[in-house]
Amino acid sequence: MIVAGNWKMNKNATETTELIGAISNGMGDTSTKVMVAPPFVNLAAAADSAKNTNIIVAAQNMHFAESGAFTGEVSASMLLHLGIDHVILGHSERRALFGEWDALLAKKADTALDKNMTVIFCFGEELHDRKNDIHFDVVKNQLSEGLFHLEANNWQNIILAYEPVWAIGTGETASPEQAQEMHAFIRKTLIERYDPDLADGVSILYGGSVKPGNARDIFSKPDVDGGLIGGASLNADDFLAIVQSA
């Protein structure tokens, strides 16, 4: 099981250190892989705070280029220099608010994998896709365009994170059964493109407003391998309750 906290644009460096300390102190002897993804400016503080703990620090994004005239961007080498070798790519907010598209994300994934980084690749349908009954098509297309150019051996460094965008901050709620249905479809799609062994070996996280109250039911589903947590990851008690549910 993997529980990854995406902190988005929250917490300063001091708060980052405090939150990582609180999570580390409360984790106990868990077998769950725990990750946190602070904002870029706090990654150095996070990496330092996470030393000698079982917490993995990830970046929220990165550019595909090694360097150049890309104001405001961060390269894979810059992240690696800080000891950060995990990166979230394709988050729904990056797609919707910053116009990131599948071909761009494929280039980012290639760069990360070339640098031996682990990619947490996000994808998922919006509310109008589900209401028009094209949600499976949307998800399959995002996977195909973003990742299916990869050779099978690359997938050992890929973690998938399914985000039903319609169930994040909208008042709509995805049931554990809906999560399982989509995760099973994703695994079936991987079998069709690659093979059953690869599909079984890929972790598929659920990223649809996981909270302490629903985490155990969601994580109990056979094709759900953990969660990508947003708001609940900003509170140590809530995040630890989710970790303990995994």
pLDDT in tens, 97-126: 999 999 999 999 999 999 999 999 999 999
What pLDDT score does 92 carry? 93
Percent of the chain with pLDDT over 70: 98
CB 37 within 8 Å of CB 57: yes
Residue that has been written with the tokens 């990830």 in this structure: 58
| DSSP class per residue in the chain | -EEEEE--S---HHHHHHHHHHHHHHH-S--SEEEEE--GGGHHHHHHHHTTSSEEEEES---SSSSSS-TT---HHHHHHTT--EEEES-HHHHHHH---HHHHHHHHHHHHHTTPEEEEEE---HHHHHTT-HHHHHHHHHHHHHTTS-GGGGGGEEEEE--GGGSSSS----HHHHHHHHHHHHHHHHHHS-HHHHHHS-EEE-S---TTTHHHHHTSTT--EEEESGGGGSHHHHHHHHHH-
Percent of the chain with pLDDT over 90: 91
Question: What integer is the mean pLDDT of 223-240?
Answer: 96
Confidence at residue 173, expressed as pLDDT on a 0 to 100 scale: 64
Active site residues: 91, 163
* pLDDT value of position 29: 86
* Sign of the CA dihedral running 96, 148, 183, 233: negative
Cα four-point dihedral sign 178, 181, 185, 191? positive
Give the mean pLDDT of the chain.
Answer: 95
Closest CA to 203 of 181, 173, 225: 225
The pair of three-digit structure tokens given for residue 42, joined into one six-digit string? 């706090």
Find out whether 206 and 124 touch, Cβ atoms under 8 Å. no
pLDDT value of residue 174: 80
pLDDT digits (tens, 9 = 90+) for 47-83: 999 999 999 999 999 999 999 999 999 999 999 999 9
Q: Report pLDDT digits (tens) over 139-181.
A: 999 999 999 999 999 999 999 999 998 887 665 668 899 999 9
Q: Which two tokens stand for residue 197?
A: 């062994």
* 246 within 8 A of 215, measured Cβ to Cβ: yes
Is the per-residue pLDDT at 127 higher than 90?
A: no
- pLDDT tens, 179-204? 999 999 999 999 999 999 999 999 99
Is there a contact between 123 and 90 (Cβ–Cβ < 8 Å)?
yes
DSSP β-bridge partners for residue 34: 3, 55
DSSP string for residues in 25-54: HHH-S--SEEEEE--GGGHHHHHHHHTTSS
